[in-house]
Amino acid sequence: MPSSSCQSCRSAWRIAVVPCCRSSHPRIGDMIQKLAPFLKMYGEYVKNFNKAVELITVWTEKSLPFQELIADIQKRKVCANLTLQHHMLEPVQRIPRYELLLKDYTQKLPPESPDRNDAEKALELIFMVAKHSNTAIAEMFNNMLLYCVPKVIQVGAEFQVRLRIDMDGMKVQELNDMQFPHTFLVSGKQRTLELQARSGEEMNAWIKAFQDAIDRKEKRSESFKMVVRGLETGNPTLKTEELGCRAPQWVRDNLVTMCMRCKEPFNAIMRRRHHCRACGYVVCAHCSEHKVKLQYDGNRLNRVCQECYVFLMGHVVLEDQEWKHKGILEKGAAEISGRSLLCSSLQLLDKNGKGGMRGWFVIPWDDSLVLYIYAAPQDVRAHTSIPLLGYQVRDLPQGKAQHLFQLAQSQQVYTFLADTEELKQRWMRIMARCAAGIIHPEEGEDVDSCSEAE
């Protein structure tokens, strides 16, 4: 009869059909050597894991009965409240576990054990199989971004996964945000993250790593997608066709003071902020009273702005004409900031020089005789504007209030406060050129720009 230790070995390795002891000495090393070549099948499983998961994802999106079937199975007690994808990961983790078990077994074997030589040879074979499997695992998990947060209660791993973003359809781009430097956007089909690095070098390294992984993913899956999605027409996909199919980047609340559609100012009582779930704009309730089903959110109803509703549903919305306010101030801050002589935050002081409005100031490249003043850098309508032609630019001595300068013409005087002396000097230089009617610099001449100001 096998000893109790032999029964443990048989249970751990799940080799019930092979006796793990002969005579009175339990052994597993020689048996593992014979079985090791068959473990290569796990490597093939790992290699095809992505295709299997993608196939499930595709048919979950295409077929409602398939989606309902998977959901029903996952609710059963035998699944222990775990998803199908979680159960599919179990075989992926099998070989590393075998390696750890065999390594622990060889370490605890006495030197004179008859199974030592066979166990060490078996460990070498398992190590080679595990190395091949680990390479496939590393490649597989390069196809997914894991957003992790520190665990409140430290048990086992120090971090837990908050959300996952698949590389399929992922996009990454740098955000030129003066308030939050070194930020970049990672956009997936279901989630969008705005991330901030500690330095420009770190941000560039992350962006490169993301882009390399995206390129590899697209190259590997191109042929597979053509087979599975055989109904594709081959025509280039328009950016507008992604509306509702992937999660948008939300414009931050603190970057706008007015509805990005009707341009009416927000207030806490009558006109509150809402986000369009299709385009990410910050809009008022009047401009977001419609709901549509969005594909990226499981076809659930979501609040959207009127423009997105018209595009997604094909319905014409009759708008009240009193909501339309066209004029010279109706220039989007983000749009003209992207091509400007200079743009940054400044404070416009009141006549007493004790306070005033802090906002986003822009001199557009194609309208350089006018200074536009916005309450926030993402507003779609300027608060006011100042025609610069004929003004004089004055430098004010530095006192308790640092970095002051003025625009003066006859009895009209505007006093500005910059954040730094360097920014102040740049504004004075650009304003002086524009006030003198020098619209654009000569070819090859250096000029301050919005990107430099940021």
For 109-147, the pLDDT digits (tens) are 888 888 888 888 888 888 877 776 666 666 556 667 878
**Of 96-100, 119-123, 266-270, 355-359, which range is least confident?**
266-270
Strands 384-387 and 392-395: what pairing?
unpaired
Q: What is the pLDDT of residues 340-365, one digit of tens each?
A: 899 999 999 887 766 788 899 999 88
The model scores a pTM over 0.75: no
Highest-pLDDT range among 61-65, 70-74, 448-452? 70-74
The pLDDT of 266-274, averaged and rounded, is: 74
* Distance in angstroms (rounded) separating the CA atoms of residues 347 and 402: 12
φ/ψ of residue 371, rounded to 5: -100, 120
Nearest of 252, 249, 235 to residue 180 by alpha carbon? 252
Confidence (pLDDT) at 428: 93
**Of 158-167, 287-296, 403-412, which range is least confident?**
158-167
Confidence (pLDDT) at 25: 67
Right CATH number for 333-453 from 3.30.70.100, 3.40.50.2000, 3.20.20.140, 2.30.29.30? 2.30.29.30
Q: To the nearest whole number, what is the mean pLDDT of the chain?
A: 76
In the chain, CATH 3.30.40.10 covers 241-323
Whole-number percent of the chain with pLDDT over 90: 10
Q: Which amino acid is at 241?
A: E
Task: Provide the 10 A C-beta neighbour count for residue 351.
Answer: 8
pLDDT tier, 158 (very low <50, low <70, confident <90, very high otherwise): low
Confidence (pLDDT) at 269: 59
Question: What is the topology classification, in CATH, of domain 241-323?
Answer: Herpes Virus-1 (3.30.40)
Q: What is the DSSP string of 341-389?
A: EEEEEEEEE-TTSS-EEEEEEEEEGGGTTEEEEESSTT-SS-SEEEE-T
Query: Above 90 in pLDDT, residue 430?
Result: yes
In the chain, CATH 1.20.900.10 covers 4-141
pLDDT tier, 177 (very low <50, low <70, confident <90, very high otherwise): confident
Q: Which amino acid is at 394?
A: R
Highest-pLDDT range among 4-13, 128-137, 152-161? 128-137
Nearest of 367, 341, 375, 355 to residue 417 by alpha carbon? 355
Helix (H, G, I), strand (E, B) or coil at 265: strand
Token pair, residue 131, equals 């190395």
**Of 11-25, 115-129, 205-219, which range is least confident?**
11-25
Question: What is the topology classification, in CATH, of domain 146-151+161-226?
Answer: PH-domain like (2.30.29)
In the chain, CATH 2.30.29.30 covers 146-151+161-226, 333-453
Q: What is the pLDDT of residues 314-337, one digit of tens each?
A: 655 544 444 344 456 777 888 888
Does domain 4-141 fall under CATH 3.40.50.2020? My reply is no
* Distance in angstroms (rounded) separating the CA atoms of residues 440 and 39: 70
The number of residues in the chain equals 454
Report the DSSP beta bridge partners of residue 283: 274
Burial class (CB in 10 A: 0-12, 13-18, 19+), 284: buried
